[in-house]
Amino acid sequence: MVSDNPISIISKDLIWKKFISNGELENRIILPQISDSWVRCSQIDLNPNDGKCLNVLEYSDVHMMLEKNQDIIDVAKPFMANIYEFFRNSGFIVVLSDENGYIMERFGDADVLTSAKHIHFVQGASWREEDVGTNAIAIGLKTGAPVQVSGAEHYCRKHHWWTCSAAPIYGYDGRIVALLDISGPAQAAYSHTLAMVAAAANAITMQIGIQQKNYELSLMNKRLSSIFNTMSDGVIFFDRLGKVREFNPIAQKILGKTGNILNGASVQTIFKGKNQLIQTLLNGKEAYADVEFFTDTEMGPSRCVISGETIFDKQGCINGGVIILRPMEKVHNLVNRFSGNYTTFKFSDIIGKSAQISEAIRQASLAAATSSNVILRGESGTGKEMFAQAIHCRSSRRNGPFIAVNCGAIPRELIGSELFGYEEGAFTGAKRGGRPGNFELASGGTLFLDEIGDMPLEQQVALLRVLQEKKVARLGGNKVIPIDVRVICATNKDLNRLAANGTFRQDLYYRLNVFTIEIPPLRDRRGDIEMLFRYFIEQIGSEQGCKYTVEAEVLECINCYDWPGNVRQVHNVVERACNLTEDQNISIACLPPEICCSPGRELPMKATHHENTGVCHYQEIKSEISDKECEEIKVLLAKERGNLSKVATTLGIARSTLYRKLKKYAIE
Tell me: do 254 and 195 sit in the same domain: no
Q: CB–CB of 377/491 below 8 Å?
A: yes
At CB < 8 A and 24+ separation, what contacts does 249-257 make? 250/325, 250/327, 251/325, 254/295, 254/302, 254/304, 254/325, 254/327, 255/295, 255/297, 255/302, 255/325, 256/295, 256/296, 256/297, 256/298, 256/299, 256/302, 257/297
Tell me: do 502 and 544 sit in the same domain: no
Question: pLDDT value at position 41?
Answer: 94
Per residue in 124-183, pLDDT tens? 999 999 999 999 999 999 999 999 999 999 999 999 999 999 999 999 889 999 999 999
**Would residue 224 count as lying in a domain?**
no
Rounded distance between C-alpha atoms, residue 233 and residue 238, angstroms: 16
Tell me: do 453 and 508 sit in the same domain: yes
Rounded distance between C-alpha atoms, residue 317 and residue 243, angstroms: 17
Report the CATH number at residue 594.
1.10.8.60
| Mean pLDDT, residues 468-485 taken together | 85
Rounded distance between C-alpha atoms, residue 274 and residue 138, angstroms: 71
Q: Which of 84-88, 110-114, 390-394, 454-458 has the highest mean pLDDT?
A: 390-394
Q: Domain tally for the chain?
A: 5
244: domain range? 231-330
**Would residue 223 count as lying in a domain?**
no
Per residue in 401-420, pLDDT tens? 898 999 888 887 788 888 88
Per residue in 491-513, pLDDT tens? 999 999 999 998 899 999 999 99
Q: Which of 314-328, 412-426, 427-441, 556-570 has the highest mean pLDDT?
A: 556-570
Rounded distance between C-alpha atoms, residue 140 and residue 167, angstroms: 6
Rounded distance between C-alpha atoms, residue 353 and residue 374, angstroms: 23
Tell me: do 238 and 102 sit in the same domain: no
| Mean pLDDT, residues 609-623 taken together | 42
Q: Residue 551 to residues 523, 555, 600, 652: CA-CA distances in angstroms?
A: 22, 7, 20, 20
**Would residue 162 count as lying in a domain?**
yes
Q: CB–CB of 186/150 below 8 Å?
A: yes
Read off the amino acid at residue 517.
I
Tell me: do 548 and 592 sit in the same domain: yes
**Would residue 226 count as lying in a domain?**
no
Report the CATH number at residue 68.
3.30.450.40
Q: What is the residue-wise DSSP string for 548-607?
A: -EE-HHHHHHHHH---TTHHHHHHHHHHHHHHH-SSSEE-GGGS-HHHHT-TTSPPPPPS
Tell me: do 76 and 104 sit in the same domain: yes
User: For a pLDDT cut of 70, what percent of the chain falls above it?
Assistant: 89
Report the CATH number at residue 305.
3.30.450.20
Tell me: do 424 and 398 sit in the same domain: yes
Tell me: do 574 and 448 sit in the same domain: no
Q: What is the residue-wise DSSP string for 255-317?
A: HT--HHHHTT-BHHHHTGGGHHHHHHHHTTS--EEEEEEEEEETTEEEEEEEEEEEEE-TTS-
Question: pLDDT value at position 230?
Answer: 84
Tell me: do 415 and 401 sit in the same domain: yes
Domain ends where: 520, 548, 573? 520
For residue 194, pLDDT beyond 90: yes
Q: Residue 434 to residues 291, 293, 421: CA-CA distances in angstroms?
A: 10, 12, 8
**Would residue 221 count as lying in a domain?**
no
For residue 608, pLDDT beyond 50: no
Residue 595's Cβ-side half-sphere holds a number of Cα atoms within 13 Å equal to 28
**Would residue 441 count as lying in a domain?**
yes
Tell me: do 181 and 48 sit in the same domain: yes
The pTM (predicted TM-score) of the whole model is 0.55
| Mean pLDDT, residues 637-647 taken together | 85
Decide which of 531 and 292 is more confident: 531
**Would residue 25 count as lying in a domain?**
yes
Report the CATH number at residue 362.
3.40.50.300
Decide which of 291 and 78 is more confident: 78
For residue 196, pLDDT beyond 80: yes
Tell me: do 439 and 554 sit in the same domain: no
Distance of CA 224 to the CA centre of its chain: 17
At CB < 8 A and 24+ separation, what contacts does 460-467 make? 460/504, 460/505, 460/508, 461/505, 462/416, 462/419, 462/420, 463/419, 463/508, 464/505, 464/507, 464/508, 464/511, 466/419, 466/420, 466/439, 467/373, 467/508, 467/511, 467/512
**Would residue 168 count as lying in a domain?**
yes
Domain ends where: 520, 550, 574? 520
Edge-to-edge strands, sheet with 402-406 = 402-406, 446-450, 486-491, 374-377, 515-518
Report the CATH number at residue 623.
1.10.10
Among 50-64, 277-291, 629-643, name the one with the lowest average pLDDT: 277-291
Tell me: do 488 and 525 sit in the same domain: no
| Mean pLDDT, residues 542-547 taken together | 90
For residue 461, pLDDT beyond 70: yes
Domain ends where: 213, 245, 275? 213
Rounded distance between C-alpha atoms, residue 74 and residue 81, angstroms: 12
